[in-house]
Structure 1
């Protein structure tokens, strides 16, 4: 029973780390999948396979080499200059994303509740510190609440939509035109991108829990859950092409027709997912700084937040537009290096 609870908690952490506000709002799914028409569903399935396979490799390597942060994993599979670049870019990306989330949290609360942006930023910082100071336990606790809430809201919106629009079927979805065509490449890049992001959480989680079977079951369940969620969001978005491309929060456009309560629930989920990503990112970088510079985990948390606050005040959509593609490419190369390293060393008594 204890192991079953741990499996569910690990799956929640995995989903919470990957989902983020981009996926919960529908923005990421519309960019990486919906634009490719009905083939996007095959792309989502490919991502599920990538998540399970790559996460199992990361767990195996973490346990075999007793790794404690993504720095150890990157140094192991990619020694030399490329590894150093990957590590640096991962750290910059995670800190920048944390800063973007702080700014986004302030903007979201300002936009919908007309309160100062700083109120939203301070709320996010205070709650993040409280959770992060609890270490891995804090990460598990918040995701055990946020992920079931996310599932309930997305499933509710989907059921409402299907109830109101009864003429939906597979052939109808198949006839919706694609706006882009390199769906396979998009899926591979998205899968690799998420694996490097979540390895910052997966590595310390593996060495703390140390039960390979429980970890792999949790990741597999999480990957399947994430795939089902992505399927539902993608179906909702495809049925609302091309209108969804005009909105920053495509799912909010869909939720609008079901009244203020559903809209408010979705906004709460988006904020909670922003918070979940914030905590995961700071946790990953803190564990990394702890290993690299031998500073305490709590000091690392405060340091990252101090760095993130001024960055969050810069209008840096340009930085993100450069950073995201660069990180996606590096992530994809890193995933290939992980595969190569794992199978090259598989015979040497892997756990």
Structure 2
């Protein structure tokens, strides 16, 4: 019983850690995709939760039934033809691009706060990532089992402190806060689609490796609920601090500043850990994909991907990612529809 509970916790931690990343932990993603829509953003976050739960169950069932090893197999199974090829390419492109940006971000963070060369931050991230990645699925589970509780602790502390020191906050107050955008539904669908497609890179090989359907589904459902709770808390904090949070690259850091250096430092450390978690998840996903496509060992795949990401991290790749982000979100949403259609048709056989 204890082993089953532990496994469910580990799966939920991997799910949360894969989706969160530095963007959500810093508040930037929530700010862009939800907070700008005011109180309606809470509906968008709840909608994402429903999509996460439904899609993770579908992906796990398909992956176990067809013994899939990577997102490549899943995409080509549910979306054969040109669209599937494009989706597969974009997924690989974004995962490698995201990994490169994280390396650059690690270098910038270390340089900014310790005044040392950016290469120290990049190589530190690479070195630790390789150690964890060489442990395969075990490494992915171990690292998220530590990082995710740390994230929850820091965000919860920030939330509680805000409630204690800033009284008089109620639902009518939040509803009256002005917002700049209205199309919250489309934003939520794009955001959930992007996250599900990226998350499939971890869910598919995890399903094959663990093979216990009930534990996988329970873990992904709990992970979806935990992720939603985090997003709701972060969105709540950001909405209370409109319009000031839009001026900062790390909106949560602005909120944490008023509670002292200790909490600020803890938040920065958690953001770096989430960068690390995303780096491991991205390389793990593409590594499993390369292993299947090129018929090489997983460890060789990891080294190849790392060698690709290091030079790309020196280029202004973030602009390209920003340009293609909406396109990838739309392709991801189409993929979700295809997944559901395939599952219903396959389930009816």
Please tell me the TM-score bracket, short chain as reference. over 0.9
Q: Structure 2 matches for 1:1-351, cutoff 5 A?
A: 1-348=2-349
Secondary structure, aligned partner of 1:313: coil
Cα distance in structure 1, aligned partners of 2:123 and 2:13: 26
Cα distance in structure 1, aligned partners of 2:316 and 2:347: 46
Deviation at 1:114, TM superposition (A): 1.2
Cα distance in structure 2, aligned partners of 1:156 and 1:114: 29
Cα distance in structure 1, aligned partners of 2:318 and 2:58: 34
CA deviation profile, 1:58-117 (whole Å, cap 9, x unmatched): 000001111000000001000011111111111111001000000000001111121211
Secondary structure, aligned partner of 2:169: coil
After the TM superposition, list the runs of 4 or more consecutive aligned residues in structure 1 that deviate by more than 4 angstroms: none
Q: Unaligned regions of 5+ residues in structure 1, if any?
A: none
Q: Check conservation: 2:96, 2:309, Cα contact below 8 A.
A: yes
Count of residue pairs the alignment pairs up: 348
Cα RMSD after superposing both structures: 0.7
Cα distance in structure 2, aligned partners of 1:284 and 1:317: 20
Cα distance in structure 2, aligned partners of 1:193 and 1:315: 22
CA deviation profile, 1:218-257 (whole Å, cap 9, x unmatched): 0010011011111110000000001101110000010011
Cα distance in structure 1, aligned partners of 2:228 and 2:51: 11
Deviation at 1:326, TM superposition (A): 1.9
Deviation at 1:323, TM superposition (A): 2.4
CA deviation profile, 1:294-319 (whole Å, cap 9, x unmatched): 01100000000000011000123321
Deviation at 1:178, TM superposition (A): 1.6
TM-score where L is the length of structure 1? 0.98
CA deviation profile, 1:101-143 (whole Å, cap 9, x unmatched): 0000000111112121111001000000000000000000000
| Range that drifts further, 3-12 or 323-332 | 323-332
Secondary structure, aligned partner of 1:345: helix
CA deviation profile, 1:196-217 (whole Å, cap 9, x unmatched): 0000000000011111110110
